[in-house]
Amino acid sequence: MSDTLNRREFMAASAAALAVAGVPQTLQNQAPTLLIPKGPRPLVVASANGHRYKNGGTVTCIEMAFRMMTEGADVLDALVAGVNLVELDPEEVSVGYGGLPNAEGVVQLDASCMHGPRKRAGAVAALEGVRTPSSVAQKVMDETDHHLLVGKGAQAFARAMGFPIEDDLNTPKSRQLWLEWKRRADPGHWLDPRKRAEAGFQAGLRMVADGLIDPEHYYGTINCNGMNAKGEICGVTTTSGLAWKIPGRVGDSPVLGAGLYLADGIGAAGSTGRGEANLYGLSTFLIVELLRQGRHPKDAGMEALRRIAANTQEKRLLDEKGRPNFQVDFYILNARGESAGVSMYPSTYSVCTENGATTMDTAALHQNKLLR
């Protein structure tokens, strides 16, 4: 073999020598570092009562859901277990057992759930006698070919699935609040239905103003959405609905695309507040479609609020400045692990990550605190 290097061999040898010379001695014999992208960040986002009520225990809804989810439980199973804490807590008067009843003093409950990976959903509406409607909604998803069961049919289904049916879901607290509302709303037994309805609504708002009812509880509801480290997204919404509602009234919570919507690999959105306003624009469907287009959760939610404001035309629903005189909140996450809470007027929402659970201020479309 010749001892003489040709030009190509000389240049290659020189480049190799310079490359080695530029690497510290301590690193020259180490294997190269591989940059492996991390998976999605596990995340649970909920309305404010998701980090408030514990049903006598030590953890809140979002804490339980996050723990179960990160320990390997199915995301929807974890979220439903979390909201069950709120549904069962007698101190929470906007959800489940002890939820504020309808105008006749009967607790009627609505709930929906969606499972992103399975592309399935289930819901119940105007369900009486079952403390945990979210669990019944999950059974509708798991055991039937349907998405929504209502009224007596929903109750019969729940009974068939083994849920105990109770005659009355009122607690002493919810019953006393209903009796106070009746006293304020109907002292003279109005015969004009329109006057009676308006008087009832105003009586409820005076109870809010007097501190008997938390403003967030007048419209009620808990929404809870989650994503695990695999990027699997699920969501659940459950409520006792508008306080003192007309019997049989159903709001947005059990309606897919209104009270809850999600798409695996894209994101999820849920809502609390005035259900009628949210139903008109199917706002959570809109938000998820905006996420699909690349919008940040906050921007997507704000666009939905602006559309609600634009669609609100009735004078009774507007304040002196022409703005909606009601609250609507959205709780949103996307597949990148970004999240936001947005609302018509200032409010709060809850988030749980690997750093723990916390309550945060929403981004508000309008800054003054207002409930009609």
Coil, helix or strand at residue 84: helix
Locate tokens 């009520």: which residue? 53
Maximum distance among all Cα pairs of the chain, rounded to whole angstroms: 116
Residues 6+ apart with CB under 8 A from 201: 372
Number of domains in the chain: 1
Among residues 73, 40, 47, which one has the least CA distance to residue 62? 47
Q: What is the pLDDT of residue 2?
A: 46
**231 within a domain of the structure (yes/no):** yes
CATH number at residue 65: 3.60.20.30
Among residues 215, 181, 226, which one has the least CA distance to residue 201? 181
pLDDT tens figures, 348-369: 999 999 999 999 999 999 987 6
Identify the domain containing residue 103 by its residue range: 43-364
**22 within a domain of the structure (yes/no):** no
Cα angle value 65/69/75 (rounded, 5°): 90
Q: What is the pLDDT of residue 1?
A: 44
Among residues 200, 238, 205, 236, which one has the least CA distance to residue 114? 236
- Paired with 361 in beta bridges are 348
Instruction: Indicate left, alpha or beta for 234 from its phi (over 0: left) and psi (-120 to 50: alpha).
Output: beta
Residue 201, number of CB atoms within 10 A of its CB: 17
**95 within a domain of the structure (yes/no):** yes
**94 within a domain of the structure (yes/no):** yes
Instruction: Give the global pTM.
Output: 0.83
What are the C-alpha distances in Å from 304 to residues 88, 128, 184, 269, 324?
A: 31, 32, 35, 11, 13
**4 within a domain of the structure (yes/no):** no
Locate tokens 């970004």: which residue? 338
**57 within a domain of the structure (yes/no):** yes
* Percentage of the chain exceeding pLDDT 70: 79
pLDDT tens figures, 281-312: 999 999 999 999 999 999 999 999 999 999 99
Cα angle value 230/234/236 (rounded, 5°): 155
Q: Using CA atoms, how far apart are residues 240 and 206, in angstroms rounded to an integer? A: 20
Q: What is the pLDDT of residue 9?
A: 53
**5 within a domain of the structure (yes/no):** no
Q: What is the pLDDT of residue 218?
A: 57
Q: What is the pLDDT of residue 323?
A: 95
Q: What is the pLDDT of residue 265?
A: 96
For 11, half-sphere exposure in the C-beta direction (CA atoms, 13 angstrom radius) is 3
- The structure tokens listed for 37 are 């992208």
**21 within a domain of the structure (yes/no):** no
What residue ranges of the chain have pLDDT lower than 50?
1-5, 10, 15-23, 26-28, 33-34, 36, 189-192, 371-372
Catalytic residues: 221
Q: Using CA atoms, how far apart are residues 14 and 240, in angstroms rounded to an integer? A: 77
Locate tokens 């009967």: which residue? 106
Residues 6+ apart with CB under 8 A from 80: 113, 134, 135, 138, 236
